[in-house]
Structure 1
Amino acid sequence: MSMYAVSLFLLGVFGFSAYGQPDKGQNGKGPIWNATMTDLLKRDLFQGYDKFARPAQHSDTTNVDLAITVRYVHVDDKRFMLTVHGWLKMVWHDEKLKWNETEYKGLTMLYLADHELWQPDITLFNSAVGNTLDHYGNSHSIAYCSGTVLWVPPAQFIVYCNLDLTHWPFDTQMCHLILGSWTSSGDQINLTAIEETVNGDTLGVDGSEWKLLKVETKRKVTFYACCDEPYIQVYIYLTVSRLSATYYSAIVLPTIGMVLMTLSLFWLSPHTQERMVLSATILLLICIYLVYFSQRLPATGSNTPLIVSFYSYHLILVVLAIIMSVVTYNLASLKKPVPWYIQNIVRGPLGYILGVHHQQVGYTVEMSGEDEIRSYDDTREERGMLPTNQPGKPWAAIAAALDRFLFFFYVLVFFCLALRSAF
C-alpha cells in the first residue's frame, strides 16, 4: 500500500515538472518567440531606470536646446488671445541612455514612448488656459546611442496678447510665448534656443487669416525673491499680419461708395425728395456697419480702430448734411430780397470757385404796383428786369452756392479722415 502511494507521489511530481516547462519549438532548443536586438537593448537600458529622476548627477546641469516650427496661427480679436499650432523641438543628453552599437548589431537609435523615459517639464508660462501643464500629448522620442534624445511633439499654445487694433483690419500684431521648466532651476535645466531652426515657418496652412512674418527668440534669466538660484525662460516673439483681401472688398470698397453717395447729396436740388431718401439710405448703411464692428471687435481696448472712427465721423457728417438739406430747402424758398453783401460774395471770386457766378442773383423792388427782380448779367455787367413769376429764384442760387461750398468742405474732411485712417 505504501509503495502504491509513493508511486502516485512521484508521478505527480514529474507531471507537474513537465507541465511547468516552457513550450519548446520543433528543435527543442528555445521558445518559439525570439527577442530582437531592440528588446534586448531596452531591457538592458531600462533595468532600474527611473523616468522621474533627471538623468544626470545632481551637481550637473542638463542642457535642453529648444526650437519651434509654427504651422498655424490665429488671433481672437474679441478675447485678445493668440493660438499657435506647431512643433516644439527639444534636444537633451541622457547619461542613462548610452550604449555601444557594436554590441547590439549596429543598432544606433530607439523609439521610446513618453512614459518610458525622462522628459523636461517645459511649460508655457503665459498660457491663457491654466487648467493643464500638458501641452504635448503622448508623442514618442528618439534616443541615440550617444545619449542624445530628440523629442518633437506637436503642440498647441494659447496665450493672451496685447493687441493694437488701431489699423484693423490691416493690422500687424506681435505676441510672445514664455517657455521654461516648471519645477527646475537654471542650475538643473539650462534652456537654449536653437537659432538656425527657430524660424522654420515653411509649413503654413493655406486659407489662414493670418500670415507669420517673423519669429524671434530671447533667453532671459530671472531671480525670484524666494530663491537664490536662477530660473531660465525662453521668450518666443511672433509677428503676424492679417490677410485683408476679404476685408478690403467687404469694408473699404463699400466705404468709398458711401463717401461718393454723401458727396452727391450736394448736387441734388434742395426741393427733390430723392435728397432725403439718399441721406436716410446712407445713414442706415453706416449704422449697419457700426453694428457689425461692435459684434466683430472687443468692446474694451486701449485703441479704437481707425475704420470705426471713420464711420463714426461719417455718421456725424451725414446728420449734418441732412440738417443742411433742411436749411437749403428753406433758403431756396425765400421770397424776400437778397442782401447786397451776399450778392457781392456770390458774384465775387468765391462764386467763380463754387461755379455759381453765372446764376442770376437779384433783389425785389416795387414799380407801378408790380414786383420785379433786377438781375445782373455776369459777363456784360448790365442790369435787366425780371418779372416776379419766379419767386425764390435768387435765393435758390444762394442755396446752390451753399451746397457747392459744403461739397468742397466735405471733400476736404473725407480726405483728411482717409489720410488719418491710412497712417
Structure 2
Amino acid sequence: MMRYPTMLYLAAGLLLLQMGVGLGNHEASVSTGLEMTANEQALRKSLLKNYDKLTIPPGNTTITISSLTIRTMEMHEETQSMEILSYLSHSWMDLRLKWSLEDHMDLDRLGMDPDDIWKPDLTVYNSAREDYHLHQSQLPTLVYPEGRVLFVPPVQLHFTCVMDLTYWPHDKHTCVVKIGSWVHHGFLLDLQVSSDALEFDLMTRAVEGGEISISEWEVLRSNITRVIKYYPCCSEPYITIDVSITLRRSASAYTYTVKIPAVCLSLLTLVVFLLPPGAGEKLIFGGFCLLLNLLFLTYTTQVVVHAPTHTPLIMRLVCQQLVLVLVSVLVAALVVRLARDPHPYPLPNIIKSPLLTLSYFLCLSNYTTLASRTQQEY
C-alpha cells in the first residue's frame, strides 16, 4: 500500500525537475536573444557613427542589377506612356559598412533603413512624371559583413512611349525605359547587369476553369542591355540600363465591341447599294446606316482620342463608309423627288442638256425623244 504514494512523489519530483530545466532553457534563450539584439543595435550605431550618406563609397562603385521582375504593365493611350510595377534587385559595395564576424557574435547580416545609408541616385531618364527619381520604397536594405549592400525595393516605372495605333485593336508597341545615374559618370559609378536579369511574373487572378491575366497586353520580346554614351560636353562615359519591351494588345473584348460591328456595318453599306434608287425604303435604310456609323465612330474616338498622328485603319474604313452612304442617300432623295409627281417646273436645261448628250453613250437613245418633250406635250 505504501508503493503508490512513493510513486506519486517520484512522478511529481520528475515533473518539477522538467519544468525547472525548461524554464532555465527559456531564460537562457531569452538572454541570448537580448544579447543578439544589443549586439545588433551596437553594431548599427557603430557603423553609422560619422557616416555621411550623401558621399559615394570610396573607389569605383559598381551597381550590379541581378534581376528586374515585372509584376504589372499598363499602357496609357491618353498620355502616350507606359507604367510598370516591378522589383529591382541590385547591390553594391560600401566598405564603410563592413564588420568582423568574430567581434559581433557571428552576425552574418544586418537590416538597415535605406534613408540612413548611401544609395545610388538611379533615375528614369525618359520619365513621364515630374519626379525622375527611382527609389520610393522605405523597405529595409540588407548589409553583409564584407560591406555588400542588397536592396530589393518595389519600383514604379512610368515613362514615355509613343504609340502607333494604325492597326488598332491589333497594335504593337516597343517601349524603352532608360535607367541611370543623374549625377555620377561611369568612372565613379558603374552599372552592370546580367543578360537574364529581366523577368516577368505578371499578376493573374484565379477564376473558374483557369486563370486570367490582369494585363491586356502580351509580351512578344524583351531585352535589357548596358549602354555607354559620351556627350559633347564631357569626356567621361555615362552608363545607362535600357529595358526594351515589345507588346501586343490581346484584349479579346475588342472582337465583340469593334471588329464584329465593323464587319456588320460594311455589309449593311453594301445592302444600301442593292436597293433600287427610286425606292423610298432606301432613304430610311440609308439614314439608319448613317446613324450606326456615327455611333461607331463616336465610340472608337473615345477609346483612341489621343492618337493625333496615327488614325486606326478601322476608323478610316467606317468613315469612308459613312461618306458613301451619305452620297447614296442624297442621290436616292434626288431620284425619288424627280421620279414622283407633281412637277410644277420642267428640268432646267443646264441639267437636261448634259444628260441628253450622255444618253447616246449609254445606249439610251430610245429615251432621248421622251426626255426632250416639253411639259405642254405631256
TM-score of the pair, normalised by structure 1: 0.66
1:45 and 2:47 are equivalent in the alignment: yes
Q: Point out where structure 2 has 5 or more consecutive residues left out of the alignment.
A: 1-30, 205-212, 342-358, 371-378
1:220 and 2:216 are equivalent in the alignment: no
Aligned to 2:288: 281
Q: CA deviation at 1:180?
A: 0.7
**Separation in 1, partners of 2:247, 2:135:** 22
Contact 1:79 1:298 in 2 (8 A): no
**Separation in 2, partners of 1:139, 1:238:** 27
Post-superposition CA distance 1:248-301 (Å, at most 9, x none): 110111111111112122333444433211111111111122222333224553
Contact 2:223 2:243 in 1 (8 A): yes
Aligned to 1:254: 261
Q: CA deviation at 1:220?
A: 2.0
* Residue correspondences, number: 314
**Separation in 2, partners of 1:204, 1:241:** 17
Match of 1:309 among 291, 308, 316: 316
**Separation in 1, partners of 2:202, 2:52:** 37
> Which letter does structure 2 place at the counterpart of 1:201?
F
> Which letter does structure 2 place at the counterpart of 1:188?
L
RMSD: 3.2
SS class of match (2:200)? coil
**Separation in 1, partners of 2:260, 2:102:** 71
Post-superposition CA distance 1:300-325 (Å, at most 9, x none): 53322111111111112212332453
Post-superposition CA distance 1:114-136 (Å, at most 9, x none): 12221111111111112453542
Higher relative contact order (CA 8 A, sep 6+): 2
Contact 1:270 1:332 in 2 (8 A): no
Q: CA deviation at 1:108?
A: 1.3
**Separation in 2, partners of 1:226, 1:47:** 38
Aligned to 1:203: 202
- Percent identical pairs in the alignment equals 28
Aligned to 2:274: 267
Query: Which region of structure 1 is more displaced relative to structure 2, 99-108 or 241-250?
Result: 99-108
Q: CA deviation at 1:342?
A: 5.3
**Separation in 2, partners of 1:288, 1:135:** 45
> Which letter does structure 2 place at the counterpart of 1:137?
S
1:296 and 2:303 are equivalent in the alignment: yes
**Separation in 2, partners of 1:144, 1:274:** 84
SS class of match (2:263)? helix
**Separation in 2, partners of 1:251, 1:300:** 17
**Separation in 2, partners of 1:83, 1:61:** 32
Aligned to 1:108: 108
Please tell me whether Structure 1 or Structure 2 has the larger radius of gyration of its CA atoms.
Answer: 1
1:148 and 2:148 are equivalent in the alignment: yes
Q: Point out where structure 1 has 5 or more consecutive residues left out of the alignment.
A: 1-29, 345-361, 365-370, 372-423
Contact 1:170 1:244 in 2 (8 A): no
Contact 1:84 1:156 in 2 (8 A): yes
> Which letter does structure 1 place at the counterpart of 2:222?
V
TM-score of the pair, normalised by structure 2: 0.73
Q: What stretches of structure 1 move > 6 A for 4+ residues in a row? A: 330-334
Within 5 Å, give how 1:81-230 maps onto structure 2.
Answer: 81-131=81-131, 133=133, 135-198=135-198, 200-205=199-204, 206-230=213-237
SS class of match (2:72)? strand
> Which letter does structure 1 place at the counterpart of 2:171?
D
